[in-house]
Each structure stands twice: as structure tokens, then as C-alpha cells.
């Protein structure tokens, strides 16, 4: 089976509850998120691992967030950098942009704005961000195509796979997610490899 490499996001902010909240929102988008309240530890992590996106607070104790942005741009130039700040000052914003920030999120950060900015930044570097509904739709369409190629009626395939025709219909229409085990049973009935479901997706 093909595995989609998840978007990897780094969050550096001294506010631990905010880190947890941002991580929760991004993980719901199937991103792999690592958070650090210690900016030095966050930069060290970026030196070791690839990140697609980094969110960095501009105001942290003992460390200027602009300095952190500049360091991240140096050690991981392909990572898209987003600055976080409450009541950002014009000079601070200019310095952040010069340090590599591509966008600014003002605190308190709202989920829709976070996800919008994250998707925009990732799209600009060609990283596809696929929502679950879109993935389900593509998977269902692929399954329906394989079933029709096999010239198998929906009710027969459902019965042999141990699910109801209504369940199979919902899967093929992309209206519901399903387990890998269920997909494997359906592919077994159709006599096609499970991998073939994910071809051309």
C-alpha cells in the first residue's frame, strides 16, 4: 500500500496550552506536529528532522522570535515560516519578514485562520493538503471503478465482503470512511490487490 508522507509541522511558543491547542487543530488535518516551549530545543530538532511548516512566537522570554526565525531559515531553508504574535508592532513584523516569515498569525489565534494560512503556505511549496472528505471521495470513486471493471454488482460484492449494500454504496460515494480491513475484504472479493485502490489517487 502506498503511504502518504504526512505534513510535518514545528511549533515553537513558550505558551504550552497554546502549543497543545495548535497541535490539536493541525493534527486533525493529518499533520504530524512537534511542539517546543524552549526555542533552542525547537531549533535543534529542526536541525535533525525535516519540517514543511514552522510556527514561531515572536515574543518569548530570553529569546527574540525573529532570531529563531532567522536560525530556522538557515538550518532548514525549505521550511515555510509563519510568525505568531499578539499586538505585533510594525517594526517587529518587518524584521520577521526579513528573517524569513511568509505570514503572520495574530493572537488569539483562531482555528479557521490557522488552517487557512497553513494550507496557503503548504500549497505554495507544492505540498498537497487533502482533507478527509476529499480523500474519501477519491477512494470511493477508485473502488467503484475497480468493481465495475470486474463486472460485479454492488449487492454481490457487499454480501461476499460481509457488509451491507448500503455500506458499500456509502463507501463508493465517499460519504463515509472505512477501515483498511474492510477495504481488504472488498478487494479480495474483486480479486485485486489492496495496493491498486491507491493507484492514481
CATH topology of domain 8-124: Rossmann fold (3.40.50)
Q: What is the pLDDT of residue 133?
A: 65
User: From residue 24, how far is each of 16, 18, 102, 153 by CA, in Å?
Assistant: 12, 10, 22, 41
Tell me the whole-structure pTM to 2 decimals.
0.65
Q: Do domains 8-124 and 132-198 have the same CATH topology?
A: no
Assign 192 to helix, strand or coil. Answer: coil
Could you give the CA distance from residue 97 to residue 73 in angstroms, rounded to a whole number? 11
The full set of domain ranges for the chain reads 8-124, 132-198
- Whether domain 132-198 has CATH 3.30.420.40: the reply is no
Series of mean pLDDT values for 10-residue runs along the chain (201 residues): 66 97 90 96 95 96 94 95 93 95 95 90 74 74 91 95 93 82 91 77 54
> 120: burial class by Cβ within 10 Å (0-12, 13-18, 19+)?
middle
Amino acid at each position: 500500500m502506498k503511504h502518504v508522507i504526512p505534513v510535518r509541522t514545528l511549533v515553537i511558543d513558550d505558551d504550552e496550552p497554546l502549543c497543545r491547542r495548535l497541535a490539536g487543530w493541525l493534527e486533525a488535518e493529518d499533520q504530524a506536529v512537534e511542539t517546543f516551549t524552549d526555542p533552542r530545543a525547537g531549533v535543534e530538532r529542526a536541525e535533525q528532522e525535516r519540517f514543511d511548516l514552522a510556527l514561531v512566537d515572536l515574543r518569548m522570554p530570553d529569546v527574540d522570535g525573529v532570531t529563531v526565525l532567522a536560525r530556522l531559515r538557515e538550518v532548514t531553508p525549505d521550511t515555510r515560516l509563519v510568525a505568531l504574535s499578539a499586538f505585533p508592532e510594525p517594526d517587529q513584523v518587518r524584521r520577521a519578514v526579513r528573517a524569513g516569515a511568509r505570514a503572520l498569525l495574530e493572537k488569539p489565534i483562531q482555528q479557521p485562520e490557522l488552517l487557512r494560512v497553513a494550507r496557503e503556505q503548504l500549497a505554495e511549496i507544492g505540498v498537497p493538503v487533502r482533507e478527509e472528505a476529499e480523500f474519501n471521495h477519491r477512494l470511493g470513486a477508485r473502488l467503484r471503478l475497480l468493481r465495475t471493471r470486474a463486472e460485479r454488482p454492488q449487492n454481490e460484492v457487499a454480501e461476499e465482503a460481509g457488509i451491507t449494500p448500503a455500506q458499500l454504496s456509502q463507501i463508493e460515494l465517499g460519504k463515509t470512511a472505512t477501515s483498511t480491513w474492510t477495504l481488504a475484504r472488498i478487494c479480495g472479493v474483486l480479486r485485486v490487490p489492496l495496493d491498486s485502490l491507491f493507484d492514481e489517487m
